[in-house]
Structure 1
Amino acid sequence: MDINLSEYEDPILYDLENPSSSELPFLLDLAEKYVKKGEKILELGCGTGRITIPMAEAGYSLIAVDIHEEMLNRAKEKMSPCHSIDWHLQDCRQLHLDFMTGHVFQHFLTNEDQDQALQSVYRCLKDHGVFVFDTHFPSFEEHALSDHETFWRTVIDAQGRTVQIYIKEQYDPIKQIEHCKVIRRFFDAGRFVEEKESFIDLRYTYPQEMKHLLDKNRFKLLRICDGWKDRPMTQYTESMVVICKKENNNV
């Protein structure tokens, strides 16, 4: 499966549209609990370093992996020489080298892709190493998605233009895949300039399905949290944060 990367073609605009690092406190707490001195954190789908760089600023050493070269280049531009980060341009399903943020897991659209990704992570982790990732919770509302434009947000791009962003979504309940079209309309001093479209497909995985997937790939599920907060899921959960542990071959 080839991942559609059109949504990530403009890393500077991506940073402007995604300024939040709300998951950082949760991840720092986990790192303090599980990462020992001298150990490195592996971040998969690091993008422009939105989480990677603050983790390095907190004193951790990281190996950061992404499939998109321009996103990695943007991250490198933002980092300080004192940061301890090793950047790698690789497909997360085929790592050759413990957390995954930004709903990266949803880019693996088939069962085979999910297995390959988890097996790659398994090979990279030490025995009983902890793996953390987030993915949208497939709520009833997702099933009711219709193909109409929904306004997301407005940002000012690097050229000073106003960018109005809309999203059109359709959910395929058979394949559990949401097909998204992102529409950006650019205005300069109030005058419409251009419109750009990008596309992204996202796989939804149910909690019990997730547990089976982890068991199959030799991970022990520790807990699934309601977003980047250490609290149980509810029927109103929007984002599942999965915390699991690699089990060694003898377990």
Structure 2
Amino acid sequence: MVQIYGTTHCRQFTSSGARVLDLGCGTGRITVVIAHAGFAVTGVDPHQPSITAKQKLDADRVEWVIDDSRAIPVGREFGVAILSSKEVQAIREDENLSRALRDIAAHMPSSVAFRKLVGGWLS
């Protein structure tokens, strides 16, 4: 299910080889699947224990950043950004969620519109 979810939706919005941002990547389950499908992936999560094991195993395929959205690499542009509803719910303060969305938007081409996935359907 993760493989289909991750790669299908990335290909829907950008070509293989494009850069993908996974903000709130956690243990990196989706991050790694997308990387193995040929995308250049940056996984960002402030919880170091969640990604330490994956970071060692997939260091050559994924750029791991242990921090929040403010640490998205400067000058990096992404064709797709993933921010799961679980991660949105984990951001407790409106100000922090607004900042995260602004940080994502700052690293996307101006032609890209935000879309959300709800229950596997694009809305």
TM-score range, shorter chain: 0.7 to 0.9
**Match of 1:88?**
65
TM-score, structure 1 as length reference = 0.41
- What are structure 2's unaligned runs of at least 5 residues? 74-80
Q: Number of residues paired by the alignment?
A: 116
Which one of the candidate residues 91, 106, 111 is aligned to 1:108?
91
Cα distance, 1:129 vs structure 2: 3.0
How far, CA to CA, are the matches of 2:8 and 2:90 in structure 1? 26
SS of 2:29 mapped into structure 1: coil
Greater relative contact order structure (CA < 8 Å, 6+ sep): 2
- What are structure 1's unaligned runs of at least 5 residues? 1-21, 131-218, 231-241, 244-251
What does the per-residue CA deviation read over 1:116-149, in whole Å, with 9 as the maximum and x for residues that have no partner?
A: 111111111122335xxxxxxxxxxxxxxxxxxx
- Which one has a larger percent strand, Structure 1 or Structure 2? 1
- Contact kept in structure 2, 1:95 and 1:121, CA below 8 Å: no
Greater than 6 Å deviation, 4+ residue runs: none
How far, CA to CA, are the matches of 1:76 and 1:224 in structure 2? 26
**Bigger Rg over Cα:** 1
What does the per-residue CA deviation read over 1:42-77, in whole Å, with 9 as the maximum and x for residues that have no partner?
A: 001111211111111111110111101222211113
- Contact kept in structure 1, 2:26 and 2:45, CA below 8 Å: yes
**Match of 2:14?**
35
Cα distance, 1:99 vs structure 2: 0.5
Which one of the candidate residues 91, 101, 113 is aligned to 1:118?
101
- Contact kept in structure 1, 2:40 and 2:62, CA below 8 Å: yes
